[in-house]
Chain A
């Protein structure tokens, strides 16, 4: 069974920062567990950023997150994105 690795978390952080053009934050400053929305984390994202991230995930990993309820839960935090990616990879194995 695959597990969430620190490498995957960093990959996700880099993807988010590249997608949103964020340069003033280092990946290690972004908390893995804290929400990405609402100001508790080093990144403060909004709903437009959320859609940008959903589409970036689709492009990079070829995974469409169609439903908004699922999308909301997936992009809560770095950990939740990583767990989603690992779960989807397991489905294809």
Chain B
């Protein structure tokens, strides 16, 4: 069976895209950028030394799950979520939900999704998709990175849902169990922006928010000494581009998506000043794209001299300056 009336949608990001599709199916009028903005999705964190990462890395959005929790607080929607100890229990729960006609989002390791071309498959344990049906031994899947509904064998789904490793999915699933008939958009948007500004400006942790971008700028010049060899360094430098552009960020490390949110927010709240903030953030995003492209170029050409890392550092400091000024003014404007 396939759940009727579920409309497959492509999205910029898998988690915000899955949430958006489920909420729209449940009757809410909302867009992916609005989900992202109300849930204060925009973020930055730099991790120079952490046990779970073999090499320094960074994030450009809040952690998985935070979007749902923030949405619950600000819109009144309630999500059911659960993880499982074994694949049999996880499959039984998913099948029961599908049989009840409830489209359900599941967390998977992208590597085991048969419909993803082999050259695009990587181990990412926090990919989200929506299961919208099951016919025999095949699930019907709405994956927001693909143009249409795709098939996935039950065995592959179970492997993907119960993959091991860092941030393993443990069969995690969720769906909206309650969606309010309406909510105060103005209030939700204001709270979402205020919290995003807090995350970017005021967290008292030296590697998060604007402080994190500045730490990245300081520490990136150490990267050559941390890599095994040129190949490894090249791989890590090129990953900057992947993290900013290729992993469902909506472009420029979610900056473009947040700018779209601000644009939509300007119209919904009747605050035209948010539109000019949106335009400014688009330009800030262009700068992130320039940084990303510079990293990709030097990584691809193995042109990895100290001068190039100084250049990366300078570009990062420019991003930090621009974003600090931007979020300070946005914070004042929204009060």
Q: Which residues of A contact B (CB under 8 A)?
A: 46-48, 51-52, 55, 58, 64-69, 71
Contact = CB atoms under 8 A, between A and B. Distances in A.
B10 interface: yes
A66 B32 CA distance: 14
B245 interface: yes
B286 interface: yes
Contacts of A51: 241, 245, 289, 292-293, 296
Given A48-B300, A51-B241, A67 B251 contact: yes
Nearest to B146: A69
A69 B256 CA distance: 13
Contacts of A69: 10-12, 145
Main secondary structure of the interface of B (DSSP, over half): helix
B250 interface: yes
A66 B256 contact: yes
Interface string B1-44: 00000000011100000000000000000000000000000000
Given A55-B289, A69-B10, A47 B256 contact: no
B246 A48 contact: no
A47 B240 CA distance: 13
A69 B248 CA distance: 8
Nearest to B297: A48
Given A68-B251, A69-B12, 6 more contacts: A47-B246, A48-B297, A55-B289, A64-B286, A66-B256, A67-B251
A46 B12 CA distance: 20
